[in-house]
A = this chain, B = another copy of it.
Amino acid sequence: MRNASRIVTDSGSLDSRSARVIDVDHLPVLARGCAVMGAGGGGDSLIGVLMAREAILRHGPVPLVDLDDLPDDDLVMPCGLVGAPTVAIEKLESGEEGVRLAEEVQTLLGRPVAAIMPFEIGGSNGVIPLTWAARLGLPYVDADGMGRAFPLMPQMTMNLAGVSSSPCLLSDERLNTLVLRTGSVQWTERLLRSTVAAFGGAGVAALYLMDVKTARRATVRGSVSKALKIGSVIMRGDVDPVQAIVTELRAQELMRGKVVEVERATAGGFVRGTVLIEDQHDATRLLRLEIQNENLAALEDGQVRACVPDIITVLDAASGGVLVTERLRYGQRVSVIAFPVDPIWRTPEGLAVAGPGAFGYDFEHSEIGATDAGD
């Protein structure tokens, strides 16, 4: 393992702050944290755990490295699963796809991939690339391209930082491999979607290839550590795990209550819907969640209480476990929490690609808290 000498290892501990190697015991912890950061999207992280577990058992633990600890010119490969998470549950990847993408990158660019980075920390994508890091014997970068989960390829910090989305590499479990070179990230998104549909609904992708020096300014730093931290709080076994998460994240609990209405439809490759939650103490209070794969906005009495790009996550009120959008059902006892996204998404450029307007809403983004929906 070429960077092993620079890594302080502490493989036995579940304490996220010192976990500089990710071993099988860290996987459930990491997965729970990634689920919280997924804003209800990003797919079921259990798949990621199963894939990464097998690879780590066979190839050994994966060093977790900070970008500051890697040489400037080392090549970082941001990667993850693309397509519908609901498909990915049934169409399991072989685990070889990411290895093939790294080989293809080396052929294309004439230099080896030095580190693997999840392009999306939220949901299963914060865990799945560990599979490939383990197989390749490469470290896992403590950063990602979203700081949460978003549905589209332009919604990555690398795009905001001016890193090209080309070449974009795609693969599936049947050994099909594609290299896309496009004139814009919008064309990358379009051609990637059509290919993933032809794959059968899911595949793996690597894009925004960059050197470490660029990655330091173009990513959300420390997001893997953050997910591990959140996960360890959930697993600590507090009496009120929701409150523990709220405290840890300095989150706002928008409402605790019961799901009283779920409207959901799958169209154009996205899950869209509305969920109503009734306050547990005051049945006249209703919180409306607007969903497009992720939880995009929470409104009460026509006022926006939280919205993209900030993170809205629905937790099981008893266990603190995350309820992803496709698992919300009538009668569930839930807590809806909201917490701030990485500040890059609150810049004008960030809001342009991932603010409410980017998802078709006509209200402005506001810091978490009450504001008029009619703005």
Contact = CB atoms under 8 A, between A and B. Distances in A.
A116 B194 CA distance: 29
Nearest to A100: B181
B175 A183 contact: yes
Contacts of A183: 174-176
A187 interface: yes
Nearest to A192: B198
A190 to B, nearest CB: 5
A176 B188 CA distance: 9
B176 A178 contact: no
Given A178-B180, A178-B181, A181-B177, A194 B198 contact: yes
Interface in A178-198: 178-183, 187, 190-191, 193-195, 197-198
Interface string A141-175: 00000000000000000000000000000000011
Contacts of A177: 180-182
A178 B194 CA distance: 13
Interface residues of A, number: 18
Contacts of A194: 194-195, 197-198
Contact of A191 (B176, B181, B182, B193): B176
A181 B198 CA distance: 14
A197 B190 CA distance: 10
Interface string A213-253: 00000000000000000000000000000000000000000
A198 B176 CA distance: 18
A202 to B, nearest CB: 14
B187 A181 contact: no
A370 B198 CA distance: 41
Contact of A182 (B175, B179, B187, B193): B175
A191 B187 contact: no
Nearest to A171: B181
Contacts of A176: 180-183, 187, 191
Contacts of A178: 178-181, 191
A197 B193 CA distance: 11
A179 B179 CA distance: 5
Contacts of A190: 198
Contacts of A187: 174, 176
30 contacts: A174-B182, A174-B183, A174-B187, A175-B181, A175-B182, A175-B183, A176-B180, A176-B181, A176-B182, A176-B183, A176-B187, A176-B191, A177-B180, A177-B181, A177-B182, A178-B178, A178-B179, A178-B180, A178-B181, A178-B191, A190-B198, A191-B195, A191-B198, A193-B198, A194-B194, A194-B195, A194-B197, A194-B198, A195-B195, A195-B198
Interface of A: 174-183, 187, 190-191, 193-195, 197-198
Across the A-B interface, give the 4 residue pairs with the lowest CB-CB distance, nearest first. Answer: A194-B198, A179-B179, A177-B181, A175-B183
